[in-house]
C-alpha cells in the first residue's frame, strides 16, 4: 500500500549555498526581513526618499549641483541625539542636510575628490563633539555641527615671531623706542626701573649687563590641542645702560615688542614662550597666553622670575603627520589615524582628548611584520583592532601607561574600513576575501578573543565578489531591524550590485536583489538605515525611474519613486519583488523516486496579495512547473476583510487579527529525486515554513550512465 509521508521544514532557516544542504535552509531568500515575534520571514521591505514631498528628493537637483550619485553618508549625533547632522558627499561637495531651510542643505566644502567606483568611501569617525572626515586625498577635516568645519591636526608649525630690535640708550637719557612703556608705567622719575609689580621689564637693571631673549609661539584650538612650537624668533639683545633725566639716574628695564603670527581657522589662543635673559635656546618658558587670534603684537614685560612653566619640547606636538589619512578611530580618548597611501603601514595617534595634537613618538609601524597595509580600524572591548590586508593586530593599553601593538591573527584581513562594523552583543563583523567573520570576546577578565566565520555555507556567494572593487563595499547595522547589511560588487561588476544581510535575530543570511541603488550607508538615531543612491536620474519622461539622493529603508511598499509626479509628490514605484527558493530536498531517500503531492505553506494571513508558486525538480531551475497564484487567506473560511476592497466598505470597523494559515498547493512535477519550490511576489508574504507531502512506492533511481 502506498502511504503518504511528509517532509516538514519549520522554521525556515536562511540561505545555504552548500551542496548538499540541510533541508531547513533556503537556496534563495531575496528581499525578506525577519520577524522574531512570529519567527517568520516577511516581505514588507521597501525604500522611500528621505524627502518624500519634494520632486528632487530635497536638494539633489541640477541647480544645486547635486545631480550625481551620493558618494558617502553619515549621521552625526550630538546632544543625546537631539541634533542629527546628516552629512553627505555628492559631486565633490561635502554637505549637511538642513531640511528646515529652503535649500534643504548647506555646502560645507567643495572641490573634494570624488571616489572612483571601486575606491574606498570617505571615513567619518565621531570624536567627542567632532566628526573626523577623511578620504585619503583631501585635507583631513573635522566637523562640529552648524557649519563649523575645522582642519584636523596642525598642518604646519606656526610662523616665527619677530621681536622689534632696540638700540642702546645714550647716557643723556635719550631713551629708545620703548620709552612709551616708561610713560605708560609712569614711574615718577621718568625712568622706568622695572620695580613696578606688574610691568617688570625683561632686561637687567645692572649697568652694562647684556641680555638676550629668544621667542617661540604656539597656537591652541578650541579643543585645547596645542600646535607645534614655532622656530626661534630673532634674538632680542640689549645692554643695560644708566641714563639720567631730570636729574635722576638709573638703569631702565625695558620691554620687548613681539610681532606674532595668526593661527589657522579654529585657533582660539596663542601661547608665547621665551628664553631667560641668558638666551639659552634649550630652555624656553611660558610667558603669556593670548586668548584671541586677531592681535598682531605682544608687549612682553615679564621678568625672568615671573615666567611660567618650561615650554614643551619639540616632540610634544608635531605638524599633522598623516596628510593623506584615509580613516581614523577613537580609542582610549586618543584619535588613531592611518598613514595614508604613501605611508600605509604606519599608525599615528593623538594626545588624549586633544585630537589635533600628535606627539612626535606617538606612532606604530606595522610594516615590519607580514600582513600588508592597514585597511581599517575598529574599537572593540578593550582593544583597537587594526585590520590589514591579510592580518589583524591589536592595540592595547592606554595613553597614561602607553599603548602596545600585538598581533592577533595572520592570514585573514579585511578589504576596507566600510565593511568593518560592530554588532551589539555579537562583536565586530568584517568582510574578508572568503566570507564574513566575527571577532568577539576579549583579552581581559578571563575572556578569550575569538574569531568565527559567520558566512558558513555562503562561500559560493563570496566567490562571486569583484575583489578589486571590494574597497568600495559598504555595510550598516540597524538595531531596530536587527540586520547587518552589506552591499557588494559581484560578478566582475565595478559598482555595488547585490546586498547580503545577516539577521542577528536568528543568525541567518538572506540577500537583496539588484534593485537596490545603494552606494553608501548610514544609520540614524532611530536606527533607520539610510543609503545614498548610486546614480542620479533626471526623473522625467521617458526616464520613468527616479533615483537620486538619500533614501531610507522602511516598511514602505515601494521601491523608491518614479515619473510622473502629482504636484511635487513623485509617484511611488511598484514594491520590490521578493523571491524565495527552498532548499533541494530528497526527503531523506536519495535512492528512491518520490511523488510529491502537496506543498503546504505555513504563514500568517496577509490578505489578497498574490504569491506565485513554481515547482522544480532534480536541481534544475531552468524548467519550472506551474504551481499557481495564492493569497494569504484561509482556504476553508470566508475571506478576512482587507483594506480598499469593495467587499469590505469602510462604513464599519473591520479590524482583523493576523491568523496562522496553511495554504495547500498541488505539486505537478511527477516523480522527483529532489524537489524545490519558488515563491515570488510583491509584498504581503509572511512565511514561517512549509511541508511537502509525498509518496514513495519503491521506484529506485535508475542505473547510472555508463561510459563504455
Cβ proximity to other proteins, 52 vs 67, nearer residue: 52
Binding status of residue 503 toward other proteins by CB under 8 A: no
Closest residue by Cα to residue 604 from 649, 658, 642: 658
Figure out which of the listed residues 99, 147, 494, 507 binds other proteins, where binding follows CB under 8 A.
99
Binding status of residue 643 toward other proteins by CB under 8 A: yes
Binding status of residue 607 toward other proteins by CB under 8 A: yes
At closest approach, how far in Å is the CB of 678 from other proteins? 22
Dist. CA 449–CA 447, nearest whole Å:
7
Binding status of residue 662 toward other proteins by CB under 8 A: no
Binding status of residue 632 toward other proteins by CB under 8 A: yes
Cβ proximity to other proteins, 47 vs 616, nearer residue: 47
List, in sequence order, every beta strand (DSSP E) within 450-594: 450-453, 474-478, 483-488, 498-503, 508-512, 518-523, 529-533, 545-546, 550-554, 561-566, 569-572, 578-582
Cβ proximity to other proteins, 433 vs 658, nearer residue: 658
Question: Cell triple for residue 141?
Answer: 577635516
- Subset of 547-566 contacting other proteins (CB under 8 A): 552, 554-558
Provide the CA 360 distance to its chain's centre, in angstroms: 28
Cβ proximity to other proteins, 468 vs 645, nearer residue: 645
Binding status of residue 680 toward other proteins by CB under 8 A: no
Binding status of residue 88 toward other proteins by CB under 8 A: no
Cβ proximity to other proteins, 267 vs 640, nearer residue: 640
Distance between first and last Cα of the chain: 39
Size, binding site for other proteins by CB under 8 A: 42
- R_g (Cα) of the chain, nearest Å: 36
Dist. CA 499–CA 513, nearest whole Å:
7
Figure out which of the listed residues 35, 160, 544, 608 binds other proteins, where binding follows CB under 8 A.
608
Dist. CA 480–CA 482, nearest whole Å:
6
Q: Residues 122, 115: contact at Cβ < 8 Å?
A: yes
List, in sequence order, every beta strand (DSSP E) within 363-514: 363-365, 374-380, 383-388, 391-398, 402-410, 420-423, 427-432, 435-440, 450-453, 474-478, 483-488, 498-503, 508-512
Question: How many Cα atoms occupy the beta-carbon half-sphere of 485 within 13 Å?
Answer: 31
Question: Cell triple for residue 170?
Answer: 645714550
Binding status of residue 84 toward other proteins by CB under 8 A: yes
Figure out which of the listed residues 683, 689, 690, 692 binds other proteins, where binding follows CB under 8 A.
683
Binding status of residue 649 toward other proteins by CB under 8 A: no
Provide the CA 522 distance to its chain's centre, in angstroms: 7
Dist. CA 517–CA 511, nearest whole Å:
14
Cβ proximity to other proteins, 78 vs 593, nearer residue: 78
Figure out which of the listed residues 174, 526, 626, 629 binds other proteins, where binding follows CB under 8 A.
526
Stretch that binds other proteins, among 3-11, 265-273, 603-611, 673-681 (CB under 8 A): 603-611
Dist. CA 138–CA 154, nearest whole Å:
15
Provide the CA 31 distance to its chain's centre, in angstroms: 24
At closest approach, how far in Å is the CB of 556 from other proteins? 4
Question: How many Cα atoms occupy the beta-carbon half-sphere of 677 within 13 Å?
Answer: 26
Cβ proximity to other proteins, 323 vs 658, nearer residue: 658
Figure out which of the listed residues 657, 700, 704, 705 binds other proteins, where binding follows CB under 8 A.
657
Figure out which of the listed residues 105, 609, 615, 617 binds other proteins, where binding follows CB under 8 A.
609
Binding status of residue 204 toward other proteins by CB under 8 A: no
Binding status of residue 33 toward other proteins by CB under 8 A: no
Binding status of residue 38 toward other proteins by CB under 8 A: no
| Interface residues toward other proteins, by CB under 8 A | 44, 46, 48, 50, 81-84, 99-102, 524-526, 528, 552, 554-558, 575, 605-609, 632, 640-645, 654-658, 683-684
Amino acid at each position: 500500500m502506498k502511504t503518504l509521508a511528509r517532509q516538514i521544514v519549520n522554521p525556515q532557516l536562511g540561505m545555504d549555498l552548500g551542496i548538499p544542504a540541510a533541508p531547513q535552509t533556503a537556496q534563495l531568500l531575496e528581499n525578506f526581513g525577519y520577524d522574531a515575534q512570529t519567527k517568520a520571514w516577511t516581505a514588507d521591505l521597501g525604500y522611500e526618499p528621505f524627502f518624500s514631498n519634494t520632486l528632487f528628493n530635497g536638494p539633489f537637483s541640477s541647480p544645486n549641483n547635486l545631480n550625481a550619485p551620493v558618494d558617502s553618508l553619515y549621521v552625526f549625533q550630538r546632544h543625546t541625539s537631539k541634533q542629527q547632522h546628516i552629512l553627505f558627499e555628492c559631486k565633490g561637495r561635502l554637505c549637511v542636510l538642513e531640511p528646515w531651510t529652503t535649500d534643504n542643505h548647506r555646502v560645507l566644502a567643495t572641490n573634494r575628490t570624488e571616489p572612483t567606483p571601486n575606491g574606498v568611501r570617505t571615513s567619518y569617525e565621531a570624536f567627542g563633539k567632532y566628526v573626523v572626515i577623511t578620504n585619503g586625498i583631501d585635507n583631513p577635516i573635522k566637523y562640529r555641527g552648524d557649519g563649523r568645519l575645522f582642519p584636523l591636526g596642525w598642518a604646519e608649525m606656526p610662523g616665527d615671531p619677530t621681536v622689534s630690535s632696540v638700540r642702546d640708550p645714550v647716557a643723556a637719557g635719550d631713551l629708545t623706542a620703548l620709552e612709551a612703556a616708561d610713560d605708560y608705567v609712569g614711574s615718577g622719575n621718568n625712568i622706568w626701573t622695572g620695580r613696578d609689580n606688574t610691568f617688570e621689564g625683561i632686561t637687567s637693571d645692572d649697568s652694562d649687563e647684556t641680555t638676550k631673549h629668544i621667542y617661540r609661539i604656539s597656537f591652541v584650538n578650541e579643543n585645547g590641542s596645542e600646535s607645534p612650537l614655532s622656530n626661534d624668533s630673532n634674538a632680542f639683545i640689549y645692554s643695560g645702560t644708566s641714563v639720567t633725566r631730570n636729574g635722576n639716574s638709573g638703569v631702565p628695564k625695558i620691554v620687548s615688542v613681539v610681532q606674532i603670527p595668526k593661527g589657522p581657522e579654529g585657533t582660539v589662543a596663542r601661547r608665547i614662550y621665551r628664553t631667560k635673559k641668558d638666551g639659552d635656546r634649550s630652555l624656553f618658558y611660558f610667558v603669556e597666553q593670548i586668548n584671541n587670534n586677531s592681535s598682531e603684537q605682544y608687549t612682553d614685560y615679564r621678568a625672568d622670575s615671573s615666567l611660567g612653566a618650561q615650554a614643551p619640547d619639540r616632540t610634544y606636538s608635531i605638524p599633522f603627520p598623516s596628510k593623506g589619512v584615509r580613516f581614523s578611530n577613537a580609542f582610549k580618548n586618543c584619535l588613531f589615524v592611518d598613514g595614508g597611501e604613501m605611508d600605509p603601514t604606519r599608525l599615528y595617534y593623538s594626545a588624549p582628548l586633544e585630537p589635533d595634537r600628535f606627539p612626535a613618538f606617538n606612532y606604530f609601524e606595522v610594516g615590519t611584520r607580514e600582513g600588508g597595509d592597514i585597511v581599517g580600524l575598529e574599537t572593540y572591548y578593550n582593544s583597537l583592532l587594526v585590520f590589514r590586508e591579510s592580518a589583524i593586530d591589536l592595540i592595547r593599553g592606554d595613553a597614561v601607561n602607553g599603548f602596545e601593538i600585538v598581533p592577533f591573527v595572520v592570514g585573514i584581513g579585511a578589504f576596507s574600513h566600510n565593511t568593518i562594523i560592530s554588532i551589539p552583543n555579537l562583536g565586530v563583523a568584517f568582510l574578508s576575501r572568503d566570507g564574513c567573520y566575527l571577532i568577539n570576546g576579549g583579552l581581559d577578565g578571563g575572556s578569550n578573543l575569538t574569531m568565527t566565520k559567520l558566512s558558513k555555507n555562503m562561500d559560493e556567494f563570496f566567490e562571486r565578489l569583484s575583489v578589486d572593487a571590494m574597497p568600495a563595499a559598504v555595510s550598516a547595522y540597524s538595531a531596530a531591524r536587527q540586520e547587518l547589511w552589506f552591499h557588494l560588487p559581484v560578478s566582475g561588476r565595478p559598482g555595488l550590485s547585490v546586498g547580503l544581510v545577516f539577521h542577528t535575530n536568528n543568525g541567518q543570511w538572506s540577500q537583496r536583489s539588484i534593485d537596490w541603488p545603494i552606494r553608501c550607508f548610514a544609520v540614524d538615531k532611530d536606527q533607520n538605515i539610510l543609503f545614498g543612491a548610486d546614480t542620479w536620474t533626471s526623473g522625467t519622461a521617458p526616464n520613468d525611474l527616479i533615483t537620486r539622493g538619500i533614501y531610507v529603508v522602511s516598511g514602505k511598499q515601494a521601491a523608491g519613486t518614479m515619473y510622473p509626479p502629482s504636484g511635487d509628490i513623485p509617484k511611488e514605484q511598484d514594491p520590490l519583488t521578493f523571491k524565495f527558493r527552498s532548499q533541494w530536498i530528497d526527503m531523506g531517500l536519495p535512492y528512491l523516486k518520490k511523488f510529491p503531492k502537496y506543498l503546504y505553506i505555513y504563514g500568517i494571513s496577509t490578505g489578497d496579495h498574490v504569491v506565485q508558486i513554481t515547482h522544480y525538480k532534480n536541481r534544475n531551475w531552468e524548467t519550472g512547473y506551474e504551481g499557481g497564484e495564492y493569497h494569504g487567506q484561509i482556504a476553508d473560511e470566508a475571506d478576512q476583510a482587507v483594506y480598499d476592497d469593495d467587499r469590505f466598505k469602510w462604513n464599519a470597523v473591520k479590524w482583523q487579527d493576523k491568523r496562522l494559515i496553511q495554504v495547500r498547493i498541488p505539486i505537478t512535477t511527477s516523480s522527483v529525486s529532489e524537489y524545490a519550490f519558488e515563491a515570488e511576489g510583491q509584498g504581503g508574504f509572511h512565511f514561517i515554513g512549509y511541508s511537502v507531502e509525498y509518496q514513495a512506492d519503491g521506484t529506485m533511481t535508475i542505473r547510472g550512465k555508463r561510459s563504455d
